Amino acid sequence: MADRNDRLAALMDEGGFSHKSLARGVIVAAIRSGEDTTCDHTYVSRWLKGSIPRGSMPQHIADAMGRKLGRPVTIDDIGMGAAAVSAVQHDLGLDFADRPETVTATVGDLWRADLAEAEPLTRALPDPAAWNEAAVRWLVSPPDGELARSGHRSIGAVDVDMVRSTAEAFSMLDGKFGGGHARRSLIQYLHTDVRPMLDGKHSDAVGRQLHSAVAEALLLAAWMSYDSGLHGIAQRYFIQALRMAQGAGDRLLGASILSAMSHQATFVGRYREAAMLARAAFTGPGTGLTPTLAAQFRAMEARALARLGDGRGCDLALCEAERHLSLRTADSDPAYIAYFDEVELAAEFGHCFRDLGRSAQAAERGTGSIFGDGMNNRSDFFATMVQAEVHIHQGDAGQGFDIALSALRLGEGLKSARCVQYVREFQGRITDGMKRAAEFREFAEQAGRFRLWQQLGSQP
């Protein structure tokens, strides 16, 4: 039997709620969020006895109480937070919602469940059907209506700027130290600071800016989760970011999110879905597509095709990526794609040619894929490790080992499951013959001093 909900009872006493008045307030809160619900005094009696309602009802209860008390009230305040986490369903966050209000509730539940390390999320694997459905829904869904809201707290342009600036700071940390370094701190910020903004009072214009900023933050949360090896959580953040971008009317950002989904799909071995997602990203914005975004989307398609062994298709996609990137100007693209430049494209060429077994081309095109600025350590690690693999494949083990040591030095400060996987793939390319050579023994002794190598054992 559930324990009595003393927190809810105390807030009812403070606000002077009767069972019936709270039920009426909950109905009004649901209507304000665009939902129809049934609620009467018997529901309240069950809640006081410890029953936890499903769906968005806990948030409606908190909203109704907060409206009368004149301050924000959370579902933790009403004694339903922990139980809500324990009741998390395995499909939370996989749906591309019909209404903006629904995605607001969904991301709040996701952030809460993520921070609580809810097992249905931490153990989840990506669902290929969810990628496909989200892409199709995004391509064909009509624009949302107005995003003006009438909450407790007034939200303006300065609040949107705070979200963007904070996300930029976390993005810098992500590139320099890996997704595992500050991922939880980002989720905590979104849960504590951003969730109340989504329930605030704002105009339609501010609402669209806010949804766009939160979509970018969710995209970063997805990348950091993906980099941490939490692929099921990452997929959910990608999908909710896509839905937020849809609410903002930001087709370019939505397409960029689809491209990021393609990147993840390739990494987990779903190459056909990855190619489809990249193509949807390319076609979705129509004539509004910008040069750098077009180049990045084609590069993601090339990655998937290379893994499928489609050399001709990969070559065509890479040529298109190079052509589009040559058309960029200083102000032709949104700020969030500024990272994708000639260095990034060179890294994509290196990855693709390595996967196609074209070692000479991979070595040639990958030479310009290193930033070397200390701010893009993870990208430099990936590109360096690819070059190490290329030399191993060419039979130049000594050079490959030297380059791998350079990559391992770069990886010392990185908390990244993807980096570990790159090391694992490198180890898999070292043949038994190479292991018998003296140069390997020297390499293995040095490699064993680095964290990424240690995580996989001292030898392949």
The pLDDT tens digits of the residues spanning 401-429 come to 999 999 999 999 999 999 999 999 999 99
Tell me which DSSP letter residue 221 carries.
H
pLDDT at 316: 98
Return the domain boundaries, the chain.
Answer: 1-87, 98-249
Each residue's pLDDT tens digit, 93-116: 999 999 998 999 899 989 989 998
Could you tell me if 196 and 72 are in contact, meaning their C-beta atoms sit under 8 angstroms apart? yes
Each residue's pLDDT tens digit, 249-281: 999 999 999 999 999 999 999 999 999 999 999
Q: Mean pLDDT in the chain?
A: 92
Phi, psi of 149 (to 5 degrees): -135, 160
Residue 349 has pLDDT above 70, yes or no: yes
What b/e readout covers 215-234, taking b as 16+ CB neighbours within 10 angstroms? bbbbbbbbbbbbbbebbbbb
The residue-averaged pLDDT of 11-30 equals 92
pLDDT band at 1 (very low <50, low <70, confident <90, very high): very low
The CB density around residue 60, as the number of other CB atoms within 10 Å, is 25
C-alpha 240/C-alpha 195 separation (Å) is 14
The CB density around residue 192, as the number of other CB atoms within 10 Å, is 12
pLDDT at 83: 60
What amino acid is encoded at 15 in this protein? G
With a pLDDT cut of 70, the percent of the chain lying above it is 97
**H or E stretch at 183:** helix 179-189
The CB density around residue 149, as the number of other CB atoms within 10 Å, is 21
Residue 85 has pLDDT above 90, yes or no: no
**Greatest mean pLDDT among 74-78, 82-86, 268-272, 433-437:** 268-272
pLDDT at 458: 47
Could you tell me if 221 and 237 are in contact, meaning their C-beta atoms sit under 8 angstroms apart? yes
The residue-averaged pLDDT of 375-390 equals 93
Each residue's pLDDT tens digit, 142-179: 999 899 988 778 999 999 999 999 999 999 999 999 99
Counting Cβ atoms within 10 Å, is residue 354 exposed (0-12), middle (13-18) or buried (19+)? Answer: buried
Residue 26 has pLDDT above 90, yes or no: yes
pLDDT at 238: 98
Counting Cβ atoms within 10 Å, is residue 166 exposed (0-12), middle (13-18) or buried (19+)? Answer: middle
Chain Cα centroid distance, residue 279: 19
